[in-house]
């Protein structure tokens, strides 16, 4: 699965492409930091304009909007280019995997489900890695960029409801709430990777019998197809049940987290110690840090699918290595 990073023919794409993706992602994060600063300045200006008539000119107000438009335009261009290049990068990764399997197809073709592994699972692996990997990279860089910002902004927030004085309070609230949610969701969803793997096995057996039935009349008899489909139905129903309580916990947690930063800010807000612009700036920084720390929570269903694909490809490659060893020994 990782020949892409070990073969010299792919070094320009694997190493050079990775560095380019890293650079583009970091630049996106820096633009997001600039937008966060803009929010603080803009909302302070908005508050001033609303509370003190004619204290802000129309030209000054509109200039803030144009500033945002320029930053946003650059951000959009970088995102479009980054997504386009990342798609090509991940397809090259898939191609490196497919080339390896093609080279040893004589040994691989005897393995049950080989065509599905080479065509379908490499495609799934590439697509999942494109989305999941890019989001992981973005989360890590956002965390690196915004944690110091939230730390600095949190100097003014020293009191939490029911707890009392805490230095840099919002940083600790973000860390504790995100890690707590991650552990909660991981424990609730611990059975999902195994179920996803079992689904693929049942679906593969069902599909294989249908394919055989296209060429051999003795295959795909109604009673056998009904029995195989019964296994598919059973495992899918099992998955629906486990996702029922998993999603209940997940969405309860995510919706509850919406009010957490405002709750943490409540003692400071009611005293009037901070401005509207500062509230917007710190809430946004808190959201960036919290969302980055919640990467596993938000990506868990996709991670489940990735684990399932990885297990299937690992089994396939292990069997391929055995076949190659037998062939070499002859």
State if pTM tops 0.85: no
Confidence category of residue 1, pLDDT binned at 50, 70, 90: low
Mapped onto helix, strand or coil, the DSSP state of residue 159 is strand
Give the pLDDT confidence of 71-111 residue by residue, as tens digits.
999 999 998 998 899 888 888 888 888 888 887 777 777 77
249: enclosing H helix or E strand = helix 222-257
Give the CA distances from residue 131 to residues 83, 122, 249, 293, 305, in Å, rounded to whole numbers and listed in that order.
9, 14, 24, 17, 12
Segment of 5-14, 40-49, 69-78, 206-215 carrying the highest mean pLDDT: 69-78
Q: Round to whole Å and give the CA distance between 231 and 234.
A: 5
Name the more confident of 250 and 224: 250
**Which two structure tokens, joined as six digits, stand for 132?**
């999941």
Please tell me the predicted confidence (pLDDT) of residue 18. Answer: 87
Please tell me the predicted confidence (pLDDT) of residue 314. Answer: 83
* Cα angle for residues 236, 238, 242 (degrees, 5° grid): 115
Paired with 165 in beta bridges are 159
* Cα angle for residues 267, 263, 146 (degrees, 5° grid): 100
Please tell me the predicted confidence (pLDDT) of residue 103. Answer: 79
Task: Please give the tally of structural domains in the chain.
Answer: 1
Angle between helices 169-188 and 276-293 (to 10 degrees): 30
Q: Round to whole Å and give the CA distance between 65 and 38.
A: 10
* 189 in Cβ contact with 246 (< 8 Å): yes
Quote the percentage of the chain above a pLDDT of 90. 5
Mapped onto helix, strand or coil, the DSSP state of residue 189 is coil
Residues 218-245 as b or e (16 or more Cβ within 10 Å = b):
eebeeeeeeebeebeeebeeebeebbee
Q: Give the residue-averaged pLDDT of 50-56.
A: 80
Give the pLDDT confidence of 267-298 residue by residue, as tens digits.
888 877 777 788 888 888 888 888 887 787 77
> Cα 193 to the chain's mean position, in Å?
16
Give the pLDDT confidence of 255-265 residue by residue, as tens digits.
888 888 888 88
Q: What is the CATH number of the domain that holds 36?
A: 1.20.1560.10
* 78: containing domain: 3-329
Residues 154-163 as b or e (16 or more Cβ within 10 Å = b):
beebebbeee
């Amino acid at each position: 699965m990782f020949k892409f990073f070990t073969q010299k023919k792919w070094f320009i794409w694997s190493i050079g492409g990775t560095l380019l993706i890293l650079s583009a992602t970091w630049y996106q994060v820096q633009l997001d930091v600039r937008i966060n600063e803009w929010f603080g300045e803009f909302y302070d200006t908005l508050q001033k304009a609303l509370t003190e008539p004619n204290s802000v000119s129309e030209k000054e107000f509109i200039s803030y909007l144009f500033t945002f438009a320029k930053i946003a335009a650059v951000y959009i261009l970088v995102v479009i280019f980054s997504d386009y290049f990342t798609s090509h990068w991940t397809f090259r990764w898939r191609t490196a995997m497919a080339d390896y399997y093609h080279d040893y197809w004589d040994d691989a073709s005897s393995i049950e489900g080989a065509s599905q592994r080479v065509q379908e699972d490499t495609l799934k692996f590439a697509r999942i890695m494109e989305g999941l990997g890019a989001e992981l990279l973005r989360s890590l860089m956002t965390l690196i960029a915004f944690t110091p910002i939230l730390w600095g902004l949190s100097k003014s927030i020293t009191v939490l409801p029911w707890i009392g004085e805490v230095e840099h309070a919002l940083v600790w609230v973000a860390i504790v709430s995100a890690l707590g949610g991650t552990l909660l969701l991981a424990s609730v969803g611990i059975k999902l990777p195994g179920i996803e793997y079992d689904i693929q096995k049942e679906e593969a057996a069902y599909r294989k019998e249908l394919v055989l039935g296209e060429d051999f009349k003795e295959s795909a008899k109604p009673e056998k197809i009904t029995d195989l489909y019964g296994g598919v139905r059973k495992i899918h129903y099992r998955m629906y049940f486990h996702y029922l309580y998993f999603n209940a916990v997940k969405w309860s947690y995510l919706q509850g987290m919406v009010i957490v930063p405002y709750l943490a800010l409540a003692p400071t807000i009611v005293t009037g110690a901070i401005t509207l612009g500062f509230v917007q700036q710190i809430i946004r920084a808190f959201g960036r840090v919290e969302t980055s720390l919640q990467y596993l929570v938000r990506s868990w269903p996709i991670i489940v699918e990735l684990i399932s694909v990885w297990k299937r490809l690992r089994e396939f490659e292990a069997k391929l290595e055995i076949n190659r060893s037998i062939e070499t020994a002859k």
